[in-house]
Amino acid sequence: MKAFELAQFGLDQLKLVEREPPRPGPREVVVKLRAASLNYRDLMFCRGVYNPKAKLPAVPLSDGAGEVVEAGPEVTRWKVGNRVCPIFNQGWIDGGYSADKAGATLGGGDLDGVLRELAAFDEQGLVAVPDRLSYEEAATLPCAAVTAWHALIVSGRVHAGQTVLTLGAGGVSVFALQFAKLHGARVIATSSSDEKLARMRQLGADETLNYRACPDWEREVRRLTDGRGVEHVVEVGGAGTLAKSVAATSAGGHIAVIGVLSQGPGLDPIPLLMKGLRLQGIFVGSRRMFEDMRSAISQGGLRPAIDQIFPFMDIQAALRHMERGSHFGKIVIGF
């Protein structure tokens, strides 16, 4: 089978190799992967920024979808022909995150990822593809969608009548917009591109702000909420935006801290204390979260926003496209 391996860090070091096809263990299934999608983590890993001490060579990319083509003799959850997605953290099935569930993530140096034609997974580490979604659409879900679901629905417990602030137009932010609207919330979306903001409005954003044209966007967010601020922020910017997100959040509000896209000064803790804010770090989510999200996607008829689909052999072009930051939603690899 064909696979891409990273023998040393650097985008140009991603090489196509031939591997022996996997054989399933007693409780494993072999999945023929049909599509994969990119996350910013993948770009960081290939650059050597994310997990620089990872053992190489390694197969990158955590998010994929495919078809079960072989099952071990003790497998009960799946049959040949089932359409499935592997979960991001193969050790996190249910409950809260803990140290014993760490270190089993795909495509970041712990376990080989999905940039290969065939892969064996424990039967517990898979979720059924949502009804009506293509493999390309399903491949966008394991990291970005589950992260957004965890941030807003599980940690944030968002509900109708509340307001959500999203930053940028990457995969997590677009899914957060879609899930917020699915639960009846109001959404204020930010981006540096008016074209992307127009697409956010098409997906249901109630208000949009261009943060380059409006650098004090936290003040505008408060104006749009009658001075109160929003109940939820999906914070993907990191240190460079966190202080503004705190300023834009209402008393008792919730900030889901997800991204590391920008750098900035240290955060003053006084506003956190005075406003009684809750900052929650979000590291994707469990299989149970994925399964609950899958049901909501199927029942709500939600379709992932795909920016572009690259052929399997053009993985470096796909990563360069992500590096430029011009994408809206998810970048997908078709096998």
Together in a domain, 200 and 253: yes
pLDDT tens digits, residue range 12-33?
999 999 999 999 999 999 999 9
Identify which of 184, 142, 182, 203 has the alpha carbon closest to the alpha carbon of residue 299: 182
Together in a domain, 17 and 129: yes
Percent residues over pLDDT 90 in the chain: 90
Together in a domain, 122 and 20: yes
Whether 57 maps to a domain, the answer reads yes
pLDDT tens digits, residue range 141-157?
999 999 999 999 999 99
Percent residues over pLDDT 70 in the chain: 98
Whether 294 maps to a domain, the answer reads no
Together in a domain, 89 and 196: no
Q: What is the 3-state secondary structure (H, E, C) of 46-87?
A: HHCCCCCCCCCCECCCCEEEEEEEEECCCCCCCCCCCEEEEC
- State both tokens at 28: 């494993």
pLDDT tens digits, residue range 250-289?
999 999 999 765 556 667 778 888 899 999 999 999 999 9
Whether 292 maps to a domain, the answer reads no
* CATH number, domain containing residue 98: 3.90.180.10
Together in a domain, 243 and 327: no
Tell me the residue range of the domain where 175 lies: 145-281
> Quick check: helix, strand or coil at residue 287?
helix
Q: pLDDT-derived band of residue 109, with 50, 70 and 90 as boundaries?
A: confident
Whether 293 maps to a domain, the answer reads no
* CATH number, domain containing residue 274: 3.40.50.720
User: The pTM is what?
Assistant: 0.94
C-alpha dihedral (10, 14, 15, 20), degrees to nearest 10: 130
As a whole number, mean pLDDT of residues 68-88 equals: 98
> Quick check: helix, strand or coil at residue 307?
strand
As a whole number, mean pLDDT of residues 241-255 equals: 95
Whether 286 maps to a domain, the answer reads no
Provide the domain count of the chain. 2
Whether 69 maps to a domain, the answer reads yes
Answer whether 113's CB lies under 8 Å from 62's CB: yes
Chain center to CA of 10: 22
Answer whether 50's CB lies under 8 Å from 56's CB: no
The CA–CA distances, whole Å, from 271 to 28, 152, 221 equal: 49, 22, 17
